[in-house]
Chain A
Amino acid sequence: MDQNRERRNLPPLNLHVPEPRFRPGDTVDFSGLDIEAAGTTRRPDETASPADMRDMAYGLVRVLDDEHRAVGPWDPRLDGETLLKMLRAMALTRAFDERMFRAQRQGKTSFYMKCTGEEAVSVAAAFALHHDDMCFPSYRQQGLLIARDWSLVDMMNQIYSNRADRLQGKQLPIMYSSKEASFFSISGNLATQCPQAVGWAMASAAKGDTRIAAFWCGEGSTAEGDFHSACTFASVYRAPVILNVVNNQWAISSFSGFAGAEATTFAARAVGYGIAGLRIDGNDPLAVYAATKWASDRARANAGPTLIEHFTYRVEGHSTSDDPSQYRSVMESDEWPLGDPIKRLKRHLIGLGLWDAERHAAMDLELAEYVKNCAKESERNGVLGHGLHQPLDTLFEGVFEHMPWHLREQRDQMFAEWEASKK
């Protein structure tokens, strides 16, 4: 009674539901975004205590400045040859995306997802890791495979679910798997790869190995319980793992605010777990390289895990099934203040005198041609829709190591029904 009377004078409670700043038709103005100048963020020692680097979770590691020069303590001082290779792998990733997106529109496959604008996040990271460090990617890190020189034809075979598909047409397009490239089988269920990567890293440590693991998940996926489990395990066992959060601002139609971005940064999640956290410019290939190298050195020195937030932007639709103009302003990607990772590295290399616009244009043509030829080669193995490419019994293979009686029986019944229907 008394309490009820007291409460009468209080304002009604108010539920806050986040809303992105710009919707379709809105004029985009990112000037309010707090972006530090390149080179201003300090670089702690690789073995620094997480408690001594909390500021890093709120800063923004950037190497390439507005004039595309490499500046500051995070400049990895890479040689020209490596930089050119990195540029090429990013451009190849984009060319691959273009071609496969078109293939989907042409009906050659059911589904595709581009990583446009996010090429640095995977390609530059791959350059900083050892080739046998285990990657647990999401569906948007095709750049890892490409940077590891994995066969494009093999990737396309998977996308087309054709007769050369090593995954026997069992997986949705782009859910690659390559043990040989230390690229873990992609799952459709978000964030499940996070604790798995930590477990892999724990196993490596328990065995006295020197290999480390890394996972990539979108900022939207950090809201899943698996992300929390992964951070807890990584922290508790000081696992040699890199936790990459690719903050591309969008999770399908939901802006990052629905994963908690209005209140804090994703790198700051690390603070609560006692993990080293770095927030970096994900469109700056040199920053991605430097941060990944820092984190891998830290892991290999048994100094523990690192959470890296890659601040970037998802330039294209979520997938071939998505139309982003339904929920965000089309101006956003052009206005994005951190620019385009390929153009930035290109201009950096031109500035160093190692590259020029003509060579770049020629490279783009050459890569497009190369991807086209790979596609032709892959398409000779068939595309989706051209019938059933795999022997029918592969449907039942691989559920278990040895096929149990009930699957054998179901397989035989399927064959019998097909036979009977022909009569």
Chain B
Amino acid sequence: MNMVQAINSAMDVMMERDPDVVVLGEDVGYFGGVFRATAGLQQKYGKTRVFDTPITECGIIGVAVGMGAYGLRPVPEIQFADYIYPALDQLVSEAARLRYRSAGEFTAPITVRSPFGGGIFGGQTHSQSPEGIFTHVSGIKTVIPSTPYDAKGLLIAAIEDNDPVIFFEPKRIYNGPFDGHYDRPSKNWAGNADAQVLEGYYRIDLGKARTVREGEVLTILCYGAMVHVVSSTVAEMGIDADIIDLRTLVPIDIEAVEASVKKTGRCMIVHEATRTSGFGAELSALVQERCFYALEAPIERVTGFDTPYPHSLEWAYFPGPVRIGEAIKKILKD
């Protein structure tokens, strides 16, 4: 399966297992979603379980919170992560705080799916990576898969979770594992071991990172599409790096991070999101606090620049093989 099919399969499995799972969002019903992630679900489960909504993100999330309070398990979709901001109040002030403020009386067991990230010539409003906004909010979990196998297992775990989960789907790798070489023909998921997705139910627990590659000289912390860009760059350069795909940003798998950095003594962080106050800053602080005496070089961050996401200069902005490669050389020099 490609990643879209895996995500579709996760929702199918959960709707089959739990009659309280409902899917809502712009164009998700009859049409099956602008990325086809919900294709066929309305036909199979009916209009009262999979339905199109008006174009109001604050409404979509507000309504999902109310449905959650009733006892349903809503899976709302925000068409692009760039359009999640109108729903911020409902996510930050309501979904994230409901359990806490009512001391557990009411909860918001919702999973907000949203395609995110760049590399598709999406320009300013179809490319953003706003995960840092959500990792800063107490009461929300943030999950980002990087393979079809993980996408299904993590989405099932997210839907089963009794807390609100933001599930960002790196749309650049919906169809194939993008290596960052925009000038080469793109690959698809066919034949990739991580695309061998089981048909039925399985889950990957939230809060657990995945070791993509084991190595000795350098730890690279990454997630989403960057996992593939980092992996291929490391392979091309012949670097014996430890690559960790975080998968869940909050709560983060601190043991995996710590163990790796203590082993290698060097840590590099790669994300597409802008640099200042991005999630990389938190990662850097955690590593510095916990692995200070093991560090042999300053922690390196390769991120999007502190600019809005550009259109024509996308490949200058995107943390691709050139930028990652230079950072690797730099961190290994010390």
Interface residue ranges, A against B (CB under 8 Å) = 134, 136, 166-168, 170-171, 175, 177-179, 184-185, 187-189, 192, 194-207, 213, 225-226, 228-230, 232-233, 236, 398-401, 404-406
Contact = CB atoms under 8 A, between A and B. Distances in A.
Contacts of B48: 205-206
Contact of A405 (B66, B69, B103, B254): B254
Given A197-B66, A398-B99, A179 B251 contact: no
A187 B101 contact: yes
A230 B107 CA distance: 20
Interface string B53-76: 110101100111111111110100
A175 B103 CA distance: 12
A199 B64 contact: yes
B233 to A, nearest CB: 30
Nearest to A232: B54
A189 to B, nearest CB: 4
Interface stretch (B90-98, B117-125, B213-221): B90-98
29 contacts: A134-B70, A167-B101, A167-B103, A171-B101, A175-B101, A187-B94, A187-B97, A189-B93, A192-B89, A192-B90, A192-B93, A198-B63, A199-B68, A199-B74, A200-B66, A201-B66, A202-B67, A203-B70, A203-B72, A206-B49, A226-B58, A226-B89, A228-B56, A233-B54, A236-B53, A399-B138, A400-B139, A404-B250, A405-B251
A256 to B, nearest CB: 23
Interface in B133-161: 138-139, 141, 161
B138 A195 contact: no
Given A225-B86, A232-B56, A233-B54, A398 B63 contact: no
B102 A177 contact: yes
Contacts of B272: none
A387 B93 CA distance: 28
A136 B105 CA distance: 14
Nearest to B63: A199
A175 B106 CA distance: 14
Contacts of B86: 225
A39 to B, nearest CB: 37
Interface residues of B, number: 47
A229 B103 CA distance: 28
B35 interface: no
Given A170-B100, A196-B62, 4 more contacts: A197-B66, A206-B49, A230-B62, A400-B141
B288 interface: no
Given A166-B103, A401-B107, A199 B56 contact: no
A300 B27 CA distance: 29
A196 B76 CA distance: 14
B59 A229 contact: yes
B54 A399 contact: no
B104 interface: yes
Nearest to B62: A195
Interface in B40-60: 48-49, 53-54, 56, 58-59
A230 B56 CA distance: 10
Contacts of A187: 93-94, 97, 101
Contacts of B33: none
B287 to A, nearest CB: 14
Contacts of B64: 199
Pick the 5 closest A-B CB pairs, nearest first.
A199-B66, A195-B62, A229-B59, A199-B63, A404-B251
A230 B59 contact: yes
A405 B49 CA distance: 35
A196 B251 contact: no
A204 B90 CA distance: 21
A189 B251 contact: no
Contact of B106 (A184, A202, A233): A184
A196 B254 contact: no
Contacts of A206: 22, 48-49, 72
Interface in B183-213: 207
A175 B162 CA distance: 23
B104 A398 contact: yes
A86 B157 CA distance: 48
Contacts of A405: 251, 254
Contacts of B93: 187-189, 192
A195 B66 contact: yes
B59 A195 contact: yes
Contacts of A229: 54, 56, 58-59, 62-63
